[in-house]
Structure 1
């Protein structure tokens, strides 16, 4: 029986805990009904806080833990619940939590986290030099705060040296299936995926990402260039044209733009066009050819390749996933 310890803290997103517990419960029922009615339980889940005290999760949910972290000397897996960066402070008794996590990892426990819980593991230093993912909306902040971590935020789930990280909120289901496969079987995880309507092939966060351009950089000419791109994206023939419009030499413009926004101007323009194309695929019945021309491209094949590069899906697959005919009838 796998011993799964679920750590909670004031302000944590408690849905990650309940989702895992529910998934494990369904796995137990599925295992007994389909595989072996007489088998012992597969999972033993316990909720702990750092000190054992009651905590208040997001939404005012009161959580009474089963104990403190120091009560747990061994576990098959520890799951760190997420907090919201910038809004929530680091957990209290961080040193105690860090020592506990490192001690159990040294004993062979799997360390897992959900969504922005990656920030907590990174503060502990255990992600330095290792691959990780997190909620894509906080990827920029994470990279600035923890440059030693190899952040691959395009992935839904990563695993490196016994440390598992997941992407945004519902990626917790992928963690659940991963742990059911690890402590149960591949067949059981496949059955649970079907029972819970989880797509096991959804491995990327890229189709869900929304571009959030940096504009608080204080460079007036670069900001003017951004506005020009956003209002004339379909008619812009080259980045050099934008540079001339804002009165900067093309070479200097590219360096300045990258310094201010974190992106080269061509990539920024491409991202604007892809975002507009995504919206049209989601909300209109325009053909892919029409959308290609509307966002400033003439070659359909080149546009489709670029679209997949940014979203991990072809335009057709993206529309199949995100277009809702009921909403846009």
Structure 2
């Protein structure tokens, strides 16, 4: 009889419910298909027994973090803006990791994972919609745009579909590829994505994803977004690509309907909004993080893009959190 792999889910208020079920359901199916209880799971909270998800559905935790749970993995699920309700939580997480439990996180759970000091320089997968906020809060912590990162020290998944892939990898390692494939087919999930697969990102101004863009345009975007705090001039991007600025502009117009300057400004504003939503950074720091030396110019472009100032946007978000008691949004 195989030993049981026990997975703990540390759920915080406002955690994305889909990320939880995207791990538990394939593990449950693997147990049924193999006719063995090879996977077990426990819902864990910081303290109280009831935790409300981002969808407003209330979950009853089986244990608290202070309880002595026999675990192989402990996965954190939360929105990025969550703060520990108990000052002892980071120390408890570090102690659990020292005792051989593999820590991990799904979606926004990577934020409290790093805040606790548990990540331990392991590769981290960060969802693209949180990347700018993550880089702002943790400038010295490397992360990737891969859907999942699996390391003996830590496992991370960028979102709900990626969490399903993480579960398939656990099933594959425990029961073999045939059962992992059957589980995927049960749920009509695409075949298990291998490690190293990059996240799919929407392409602003188009109906498709970044993977649908012409290679030249995609490469230009990659060059520009390497460091939004130091925007690369269009002439330098064109030179790096071996084309003229006019050729670059025509290529962008055909692919996105926008010129490069407008397209890149939109990317900067989307990154700025992440930092506004998921951090308490001063607006001058937010502006600098996306390459603006003038807060006034930054605020003007922000209002033109989103219809309100960054201060108004943060106030609106914080009001929602107070009234709904939920961090927003999470994926």
TM-score (norm: length of structure 2)? 0.60
More moved, 137-146 vs 178-187: 178-187
Q: In structure 1, what is the equivalent of residue 39 of structure 2?
A: 43
Query: Deviation string for 1:11-38 (max 9, x for gaps)?
Result: 1112211222211111112212xxxxxx
Of 130, 152, 157 in structure 1, the residue corresponding to residue 148 of structure 2 is 157
Alignment of 1:92 onto 2:85: yes
Task: Verify: 1:194 aligned to 2:172, yes or no.
Answer: no
What is the CA–CA distance in structure 1 between the aligned matches of 2:192 and 2:21, rounded to whole Å? 20
Equivalent residue for 1:52?
Answer: 48
Q: Give the one of 7, 12, 30 matched to 1:4.
A: 7
The residue aligned with 1:140 is 132
Once the two structures are superposed, what CA deviation does each residue of 1:183-231 show, in whole Å capped at 9, x if it has no partner? 333332232223322332365344334459xxxxxxxxxxxxxxxxxxx
SS in 1 for 2:7: strand
Structure 2 CA distance, aligned partners of 1:18 and 1:4?
13
Aligned to 1:207: 200
| Contact residue 22 and residue 160 of structure 2 kept, 8 A | no
Correspondence 1:239-250 to 2 at 5 A: none
Task: Give yes or no for the alignment of 1:76 onto 2:68.
Answer: no
Matched residue of 2:163: which SS? helix
- Unpaired stretches in structure 1, ≥5 consecutive residues: 33-39, 213-238, 240-254, 281-293, 297-329
| Alpha-carbon offset, residue 276 of structure 1 | 5.9
Where in structure 2 are there 5+ consecutive unaligned residues?
Answer: 206-219, 239-244, 261-331
Q: Distance in 1 between matches of 2:249 and 2:107?
A: 24
Specify whether residues 67 and 140 from structure 1 end up closer, same or farther in structure 2 by C-alpha distance, changes over 3 A only. same
CA-based RMSD: 3.4
The answer (yes or no) to whether the contact 2:181–2:191 under 8 Å persists in 1 is no
Bigger Cα Rg: 1
Residue in structure 2 matched with residue 27 of structure 1 by the alignment: 30
Pair 1:122-2:122 in alignment: no
For 2:107 and 2:170, locate their aligned partners in 1 and report how far apart those are by CA, in whole Å: 16
Asked which structure has the greater RCO (Cα within 8 Å, sep 6+), the reply is 2
| Deviation for aligned residue 1:171 | 1.0
Q: 1:272, 1:9 → 2: CA distance? A: 47
Larger mean Cα displacement after TM superposition, 187-196 or 139-148: 187-196
Contact 1:136 1:209 in 2 (8 A): no
Q: Per the alignment, do residues 260 and 120 of structure 1 end up closer, same or farther by CA in structure 2, a change over 3 Å counting?
A: closer
SS in 1 for 2:88: helix
TM-score after normalising by structure 1: 0.60
The alpha carbon displacement at 1:161 in A equals 4.0
Counterparts of residues 227-238 of structure 1 (less than 5 Å): none
SS in 2 for 1:59: coil
